[in-house]
Amino acid sequence: MKFDFVGRRNWWFLLSVLIILPGLISIAVQGFNLGIDFTGGTLLDLKFSRPVMVAEVREALKEHHFEGSTIQLAAEGQADAAPNVFIRTTLLSEQDRLAVLADLKKNLGDFEVLRIEQVGAVIGSELTKQAVMALALSWLLMIVYITYRFEFKFAIAGIIGLLHDVLIVIGVFSLLQKEIDASFVAALLTIVGYSINDTIVIFDRIRENLKTYRKSEGLEQLVNKSIWQTMTRSIYTVLTVLFATASLYFFGGETTKNFSLALLIGFTVGAYSSIFNASQIWLVLREYSERKRLPEKTKSTK
């Protein structure tokens, strides 16, 4: 006998709540570790006596835990090394700034300081506003489209699944105090797109099976059958995506760590919510709707 996903739906709902809850508490208590995209920081414009590479600069900054800083070479074309370097990092105190500059000179040789500025959160408020608007607009369009192609209950179930995925990702980042920057917002939007695609595949199978549905079969059996019919495809897809994302996380370098970590978490919970939550939420909504209609039918036949 195949595993009964739907019969244990309350356990999956409880598991999701238990996973989401610590993240929500962490968000309320300690908030997020916002990067310089949101908080502003210090800009160092340096001209070294020899061409230096980004990896060399990042390694020199590692001792001060600033290896996640934005480092750019001022060079024409795609040069691997250049004497002019821009470093954008978190806000440095006078003491930290002197220590960082001393270590850069010690490890990379002499340099001339062209500019040191305190920069503001240039994209913070604008980025946050646009990200929220992008998520809201995408979810609204998804509701309209899924309602048109399927039915409103499918749309609501799909959006709840997406909300579940987003809450887990931002909760984990709050718990681990991982830095949130512009790439994290891009990762969230990518997760939303992937997760709803996986969910729609199962919804589409449910819709197809509803055409030949007999009441004696039961809706639980129908949803279980639909999940199992798409299970192989779901496993193959998520594993393929996770292999690529894990490679990016382990071999992609320091600047893509948080982006790929968000994708790893998001794709995993997205696959989980598609199989264990979204279809079951649709079933709960459908059963509630039918229970609500039953007294009205009974009343009309009297």
3-state SS of 119-150 is: ECCCCHHHHHHHHHHHHHHHHHHHHHHHHHHC
First to last CA, the chain: 43
What's the rounded Cα separation, in Å, for the pair 168 and 188?
A: 11
In this prediction, residue 276 has a pLDDT band, given cuts at 50, 70 and 90, of very high
Three-state DSSP state, 78: coil
Task: Give the range with max mean pLDDT: 40-44, 65-69, 245-249.
Answer: 245-249
Specify the pLDDT at position 137: 87
Residue 63 phi/psi, 5° resolution? Answer: -60, -30
**Bridge-partner residues for 111, per DSSP?**
48
- pLDDT tens for residues 111-135? 888 878 776 665 566 767 777 888 7
How are strands ordered across the β-sheet holding 81-89? Answer: 70-73, 81-89, 41-53, 111-119
Q: 104-108, 173-177, 251-255: lowest mean pLDDT where? A: 251-255
Mean pLDDT of the chain: 85
For the beta carbon of residue 37, count every other beta carbon within 10 angstroms: 22
What is the Cα gyration radius of the chain? Answer: 25
Distance (Å, whole) CA 52 – CA 104: 11
Residues in CB range of 230: below 8 A, 6 or more apart: 201, 202, 205
Q: Which amino acid is at 42?
A: T
Fill in the DSSP letter of residue 178: -
pLDDT of residue 168: 96
CA dihedral 259, 262, 267, 270 (to 10 degrees): -140
Amino acid at 179: E
Over residues 212-230, the pLDDT tens digits come to: 877 777 889 999 999 999 9
Res. 295 pLDDT band, cuts 50 70 90: low
Helical residues (DSSP H) of 63-181, grouped into ranges? 94-108, 124-149, 152-176
**CA dihedral sign of residues 71, 74, 77, 80:** negative
The percentage of the chain sitting over the pLDDT mark of 90, rounded to a whole number, equals 38
Question: Where would I find the H helices in the chain?
Answer: 9-29, 36-39, 54-62, 94-108, 124-149, 152-176, 182-210, 219-251, 257-273, 279-301
Q: List, as own/partner pairs, every contact residues 174-178 make where C-beta atoms lie below 8 angstroms and the sequence separation is at least 24, other chains included.
A: 174/23, 174/26, 174/27, 174/30, 174/31, 174/32, 174/33, 175/22, 175/23, 175/26, 177/30, 177/33, 178/33, 178/258, 178/261
Q: Are 187 and 263 in contact (CB under 8 A)?
A: yes
Nearest to 6 by CA among 269, 245, 221: 221
